[in-house]
Amino acid sequence: MSVLELRHVTKRYGSFLAVDNISFAVEKGQILSLLGPSGCGKTTTLRLISGFEDANEGAVMFSGVDMKGRRPYERNVGLLFQDYALFPHMTVVENIAYGLKRRNFDKAKIPDRVAEMLSLVKLKGFDNRRPGQLSGGQQQRVALARALATNPEVVLLDEPLSALDAKLRHELRFELKAILSAVNATTIVVTHDQEEAMSLGDSVVVMSAGKIMQEGAPTEIYADPRTRFVAEFIGRSNWFTGELGKATKGVAELKAVGGIRMFVAVPESSRNAGAFDVCVRPERIRIGSALPPSDAGPVNEMRGTIRDVAHLGADLHLVIEIPGGQLLTVTEKYVGQGLERSGQEVSITFFPQDCIVVPSGS
Ligand SMILES: Nc1ncnc2c1ncn2[C@@H]1O[C@H](COP(=O)(O)OP(=O)(O)OP(=O)(O)O)[C@@H](O)[C@H]1O
Ligand SMILES: [Mg+2]
């Protein structure tokens, strides 16, 4: 049985549908990332789970028990709000002990539990500081310790890293994952950062306008997005739009806008004629025709002109103009090649299997 399950949950504010018939489940010790643009209903979903809002339809189940009618303090949830909301007048210890006191945790055991939490989030010795005397990263860890202190059945983290600068955010991401794993927490992490969602989550749910667009393992969502929205939201992409010809051995020709013709591997579901959007990830495109031999059939090869080269640490980002004027983004590992420069003519290649086909405009 899943520790947490949402069944067809809908939430309206007046006539506005903030959450529209969503269902998903989280298993013991798993992390589910809830990802989507601002206003798509992520925080509302957490509020429905924690009991701060009531669903208009559907059910929120904790280990098979319907939470309908239960107030937030009657649900065994650890919550980290979007803005942390530490109590500024309380010390670190008091902040962490807050939930324990509210839930009538054995008073004599509170100091030990708080010490355990401080050690978990690496803040031993910070006991008597107030939030104003802590860095952003330290505040974030206090908030996490407070959320985990009651050993909650379900941990809900709303943008846990968003208040931090990029470098710290990156470091704490791994720490957060390690801490959650150490206590085997069943967790939902809300973020609008796709990289964060992918690196934290065992599974990822992508939302848009209150609806779930897709759910799956991070690699699955990246490699096999079902819609253009999901493909664009997760990672960079180059797009071609056009009509698909008849497939032979699972490969069809796309006559794309701009006069481009290319071979794409077509999944069973998109063998119907009609308009399709085709995505090729930047790292799937190779510069130069040095493709390994393939028995998979045709290879796509195009001429192009390099329009921009950017060295981003370990990666080389290139912008390449192809016939018809379309600009493609291509990424390569930077291993000191340094040969490519703006204005240079190159040949680019990619396999039909590197093409992701989705319904046009999806
Ligand atoms: N109490 C409310 N009354 C009316 N509308 C609300 C209320 N709370 C949220 N909404 C609306 O519901 C939608 C979803 O809000 P929500 O806070 O869940 O978004 P979010 O995905 O968390 O966005 P963000 O990434 O910006 O935090 C928004 O359009 C918001 O304006
Ligand atoms: Mg939010």
Question: pLDDT tens digit string along 267-282?
Answer: 765 556 678 999 999 9
| pTM to 2 decimal places | 0.89
Q: Which atom of ligand 1 is nearest to the CA of 47?
A: 18
Which residue's CA lies nearest to atom 25 of ligand 1?
38
Q: Are strands 154-158 and 77-80 parallel, antiparallel or unpaired?
A: parallel
Backbone angles phi, psi at 73, to 5 degrees: -75, -10
Proportion of the chain in helix, strand, coil states, percent, rounded to 5? 25, 35, 40
The pLDDT of residue 30 is 97
The pLDDT of residue 314 is 84
In Å, what is the CA distance from 85 to each residue of 25, 73, 131, 147? 27, 17, 10, 11
282, 277, 275, 247: which is closest to 263 by C-alpha? 247
Element (DSSP H or E) covering residue 300: strand 300-312
The pLDDT of residue 339 is 63
Distance of CA 79 to the CA centre of its chain: 19
Residues 222 and 259 in one domain: no
d(CA 336, CA 161): 34
151, amino acid identity: N
Last residue within a domain, chosen from 193, 214, 230? 230
Q: What percent of the chain has pLDDT over 90?
A: 69
Q: 136-148 vs 92-102: helix axis angle to the nearest 10? A: 20
Ligand 1 pocket mutation pick from 9, 20, 40 by most atoms within 8 angstroms of CB: 40
Domains identified in the chain, total number: 2
In this structure, of 62-71, 244-253, 268-277, the range with the lowest mean pLDDT score is 268-277
Distance (Å) from CA 157 to ligand 2 centroid: 10
Backbone angles phi, psi at 37, to 5 degrees: -70, 165
The pLDDT of residue 338 is 64
Residues 9 and 110 in one domain: yes
Please state the rounded mean pLDDT for residues 248-275.
Answer: 82
Please state the rounded mean pLDDT for residues 220-236.
Answer: 93
CATH number, residue 30: 3.40.50.300
The pLDDT of residue 190 is 96
pLDDT digits (tens, 9 = 90+) for 318-327: 999 999 899 9
Distance (Å) from CA 40 to ligand 2 centroid: 8
In this structure, of 47-56, 263-272, 300-309, the range with the lowest mean pLDDT score is 263-272
d(CA 99, CA 211): 32
200, 236, 237: which is closest to 217 by C-alpha? 200
Residues 245 and 318 in one domain: yes
Distance (Å) from CA 277 to ligand 2 centroid: 30
Residues 155 and 221 in one domain: yes
> Average pLDDT, whole number, for the chain?
90
Residues 78 and 226 in one domain: yes
Distance (Å) from CA 18 to ligand 1 centroid: 7
Q: Which atom of ligand 1 is nearest to the CA of 40?
A: 21
- Do the beta carbons of residue 95 and residue 85 sit within 8 Å? no
Residues 160 and 33 in one domain: yes
In Å, what is the CA distance from 84 to each residue of 79, 87, 162, 164, 208? 9, 9, 10, 12, 24
- Give alpha helix (H) positions in the chain: 42-50, 92-102, 110-120, 136-148, 166-182, 194-200, 218-223, 228-233
In the chain, what is the straight-line distance between the N-terminal and C-terminal CA atoms, in Å? 34
Last residue within a domain, chosen from 230, 265, 300? 230
The pLDDT of residue 31 is 97
Which pair of structure tokens corresponds to residue 274?
């009609």
- Give alpha helix (H) positions in 250-297: none
Residues 224 and 259 in one domain: no
How crowded is residue 261: how many other Cβ atoms within 10 Å of its Cβ?
Answer: 13
Last residue within a domain, chosen from 230, 254, 271? 230
- Do the beta carbons of residue 127 and residue 154 sit within 8 Å? no
Strand order in the sheet with 300-312: 286-287, 345-350, 300-312, 315-321, 327-333
Per the listing, tokens 């939430």 go with 11
pLDDT digits (tens, 9 = 90+) for 84-142: 678 999 999 999 999 899 888 899 999 999 999 999 888 999 999 999 999 888 898 89
- Give alpha helix (H) positions in 216-338: 218-223, 228-233
Domain with 333, as residue range(s), is 236-359
In Å, what is the CA distance from 44 to each residue of 86, 195, 213, 321, 326? 20, 22, 17, 43, 40
Residues 39 and 139 in one domain: yes
The pLDDT of residue 273 is 64
Map residue 27 onto helix, strand or coil. coil
Distance (Å) from CA 224 to ligand 1 centroid: 29
CATH number, residue 262: 2.40.50.140
Ligand nearest to the CA of 20: 1
Residue 298 clears pLDDT 90, i.e. is over it: no
Please give all residues whose beta carbon lies within 6 A of any atom in ligand 1, as ranges: 13, 16, 18, 36, 38-44, 192
Q: Which atom of ligand 1 is nearest to the CA of 16?
A: 5
- Do the beta carbons of residue 358 and residue 277 sit within 8 Å? yes
Residues 313 and 221 in one domain: no
Residues 178 and 240 in one domain: no
Residues 55 and 198 in one domain: yes
Distance (Å) from CA 20 to ligand 2 centroid: 16
266, 229, 277, 185: which is closest to 221 by C-alpha? 229
Residues 240 and 108 in one domain: no
- Do the beta carbons of residue 204 and residue 221 sit within 8 Å? yes
| pLDDT category of residue 68 using cuts at 50, 70 and 90 | very high
Which residue's CA lies nearest to atom 29 of ligand 1?
39
